[in-house]
């Protein structure tokens, strides 16, 4: 137990240097929200209003995607206001849970695919939808998002803990 704990601290000290400053969190939220607003407004603009020529729309979507990806990176890898050993151990725990979730999702989808192929009880449509869901769930972006959600829930619980004290 004690040996394991001291190893954790070494990891904590090493990890601290990888994190971005706290203000990246604010930048991350701003980009994340504007990215999504622009994304849905853009979908509407492309499909209904046709303001932006089709030729440019693909590049615009790419840029929006890039910004949303970046924002998730900022949100996941920036320091808290007070970065201490509790937040670091929370990060490690959240990362471990994310690893479990991603592995389970990966396994479930791999098996779902194998069974679907073996027994042929899926229509081509549902097969395609399954493929899209798999693509959405198993990519670095979603994993980061899962990590952020777990981390935020844990931090929220700690914050709620001190509110209950008052």
Partner 1 sequence: MKNNIRVERARLKISQQQLADLTNVSRQTINAIELGKFIPSTLLSLKISRIFNLTVNEIFELENND
In whole angstroms, how close is the CB of 98 to partner 1 at the nearest point? 20
State residue 53 phi and psi, 5-degree precision. Answer: -60, 145
d(CA 143, CA 105): 11
Nearer to partner 1, 50 or 157 (CB): 157
The alpha-helical segments, DSSP class H, found in the chain are 2-16, 23-44, 54-77, 85-119, 124-137, 140-165
Least distance (Å) from partner 1 to the CB of residue 162? 5
Binding site for partner 1 (CB under 8 A): 1, 5-6, 9, 12, 80-82, 84-87, 89, 155, 158-159, 161-162, 165
Rounded Cα distance, 38 and 44, in Å: 10
Query: Whole-number minimum distance, CB 87 to partner 1, in Å?
Result: 7
As measured in angstroms, the least distance from the Cβ of 165 to partner 1 is 6
- For residues 109 and 130, the answer to whether their CB atoms sit within 8 Å is yes
Residue (11 or 41) nearer to partner 1, CB: 11
How far is it, in rounded angstroms, from Cα 134 to Cα 119?
19
Please identify, using beta-carbon distances, which residue of 29 and 158 lies nearer to partner 1: 158
- Choose between 58 and 160: whose C-beta lies nearer to partner 1: 160
Nearer Cβ to partner 1 (84/110) = 84
Q: Coil, helix or strand for 20?
A: strand
Decide if 57 contacts 46 (C-beta within 8 A): yes
The minimum distance between CB 91 and partner 1, in angstroms, equals 13
Q: Which token pair is 81?
A: 């206001």
């Amino acid at each position: 137990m004690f040996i394991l704990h001291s190893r954790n601290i070494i990891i904590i000290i090493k990890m601290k240097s990888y994190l971005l400053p706290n203000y990246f969190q604010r930048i991350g939220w701003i980009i994340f929200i504007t990215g999504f607003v622009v994304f849905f407004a853009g979908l509407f603009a492309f499909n209904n209003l046709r303001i932006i020529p089709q030729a440019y729309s693909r590049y615009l979507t790419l840029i929006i995607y890039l910004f949303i990806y970046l924002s998730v990176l900022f949100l996941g890898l920036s320091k808290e206001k007070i970065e201490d050993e509790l937040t670091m151990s929370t990060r490690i725990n959240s990362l471990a849970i994310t690893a479990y979730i991603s592995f389970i999702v990966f396994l479930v989808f791999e098996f779902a695919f194998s069974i679907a192929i073996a027994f042929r009880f899926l229509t081509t449509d549902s097969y395609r939808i399954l493929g899209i869901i798999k693509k959405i769930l198993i990519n670095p972006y979603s994993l980061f998002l899962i990590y952020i959600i777990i981390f935020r829930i844990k931090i929220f619980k700690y914050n709620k803990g001190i509110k209950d004290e008052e």
